[in-house]
């Protein structure tokens, strides 16, 4: 398969394609053709064989190749009487960009690119300084030829082009290639958004904005709902704990009573299996009752024994007060034991448990 194809497409129109390295089907044939005439001559002869042409459509996908052939093909197409329309279908690299510049129009296909760099060569063997300098001079001449072609067809200055080539292998997409003057246009699909009706495009943007806004509101509402659900769960748990409180352990009750100085109440409350909140409430009330008893001169033990039954506690307090006021009453009520030694709550509770067992 040749590195190019050329065929007539009717109405004095030809379709050309370069889809390989320029001048080679599988290897650089120009190694054996130092003048670079054979590859270019084959291309030119194939196009001339198509007869009189008014339009040439050339598709390029090439990594580059023989410089001399590329320059000659460019000049041939520029001088051709037909309009030349070039389209990059993959990549146009190195000398392929020079052939690309022969087009009256130069279109970049979707996803295509071009690549520019300075000329390079292959040297094998031993060379002296003079020979190396001569070779370098030859490469410089090729660079100058490429720069001249770029300047002539892109509209850029020699200084700008040389600065570009000094970057080494430089790849460009469609927009940059157009900016540099290598391309004159890009594929219609690339321009689809730009050529769309602005009103329709703005409507799409507005709709997208409204959708995003609705999504944000939905997310916020979901977050609020989750917060509310969590609050309901917590409240439900609190209500359940209030309805079905967990009984405090005997050790917890005894410790709390010792802390309050009311060890005598520990056994009774432990036996009732009260929740800690109730234990704390009773101990608080007991402390207040002790203060009242002390201020009234009433034995606190008389009042504390019925702390869980306020009505009875008040009755006992009244009876105690009467007994203290009138020792001769028939319903005399003996005063309580006074400030006697407090019982050992832990020992009593232990004995109570052993008795129950």
Contact 109, 83 (CB under 8 A): no
Alpha-carbon distance of 313 to 168, in angstroms, equals 104
Q: Which residues of 210-237 are buried (b: 16+ CB within 10 A; e: fewer)?
A: eeeeeeeeeeeeeeeeeeeeeeeeeeee
Q: Measuring CA to CA, which residue among 261, 256, 341 is closest to residue 269?
A: 256
Catalytic site residue from 69, 85, 117, 264: 117
Alpha carbon of 236 to those of 226, 239, 243, 244, 330: distances in Å?
Answer: 15, 5, 10, 12, 56
Q: Are 172 and 114 in contact (CB under 8 A)?
A: yes
Active-site annotation holder among 17, 69, 94, 264: 94
Going by C-alpha positions, the residue among 121, 119, 114 that lies closest to residue 61 is 114
E strand segments, the chain: 4-10, 13-18, 55-62, 83-93, 105-108, 113-116, 170-172, 185-186
| The Cα angle at residue 156 between residues 150 and 157, in degrees rounded to 5 | 95
Active site residue 331: no
Check residue 32 and report its DSSP letter: G
Known catalytic membership, residue 94: yes
Query: What dihedral do alpha carbons 106, 107, 111, 116 form, nearest 10°?
Result: 10
* H or E stretch at 281: helix 276-296
Whole-angstrom distance between the N-terminal and C-terminal Cα of the chain? 106
CA distance 25 to 4: 9
For 155-247, where are the alpha helices, taking DSSP H only?
A: 158-165, 174-180, 198-243
For the record, the structure tokens of 178 come out as: 């157009």
Q: DSSP state, 264?
A: G
> From residue 76, how far is each of 52, 72, 94, 138, 245 by CA, in Å?
15, 6, 18, 23, 100
Known catalytic residues are 94, 117
């Amino acid at each position: 398969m040749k590195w190019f194809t050329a065929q007539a497409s009717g109405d004095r129109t030809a379709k050309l394609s370069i889809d390989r390295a320029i001048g080679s089907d599988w290897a650089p044939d120009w190694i054996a053709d130092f003048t670079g005439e054979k590859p270019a001559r084959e291309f030119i002869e194939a196009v001339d064989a198509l007869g009189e042409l008014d339009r040439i459509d050339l598709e390029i996908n090439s990594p580059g190749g023989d410089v001399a052939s590329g320059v000659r093909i460019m000049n041939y197409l520029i001088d051709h009487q037909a309009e030349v329309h070039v389209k990059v279908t993959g990549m146009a690299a190195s000398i392929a960009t020079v052939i690309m510049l022969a087009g009256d129009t130069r279109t970049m296909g979707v996803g295509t690119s071009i690549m520019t760099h300075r000329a390079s060569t292959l040297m094998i063997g031993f060379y002296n300084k003079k020979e190396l300098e001569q070779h370098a001079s030859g490469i410089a001449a090729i660079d100058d030829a490429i720069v001249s072609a770029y300047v002539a067809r892109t509209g850029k200055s020699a200084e700008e082009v040389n600065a570009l080539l000094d970057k080494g292998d430089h790849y460009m997409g469609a927009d940059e290639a157009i900016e540099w003057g290598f391309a004159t246009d890009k594929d219609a699909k690339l321009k689809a958004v730009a050529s769309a009706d602005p009103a329709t495009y703005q409507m799409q943007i507005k709709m997208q904005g409204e959708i995003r806004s609705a999504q944000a509101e939905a997310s916020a509402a979901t977050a609020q709902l989750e917060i509310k659900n969590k609050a309901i769960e917590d409240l439900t748990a609190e209500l359940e704990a209030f309805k079905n409180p967990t009984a405090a352990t005997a050790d917890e009750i005894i410790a709390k009573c010792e802390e309050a100085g009311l060890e005598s109440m520990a056994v009774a409350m432990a036996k009732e299996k009260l929740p800690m909140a109730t234990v704390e409430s009773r101990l608080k009330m007991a402390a207040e009752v002790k203060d009242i008893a002390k201020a009234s001169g009433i034995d606190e033990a008389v009042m504390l024994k019925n702390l869980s039954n306020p009505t009875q506690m008040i009755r006992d307090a009244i009876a105690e007060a009467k007994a203290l006021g009138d020792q001769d009453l028939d319903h005399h009520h003996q005063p309580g034991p006074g400030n006697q030694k407090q019982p050992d709550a832990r020992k009593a509770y232990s004995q109570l448990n052993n008795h129950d067992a």
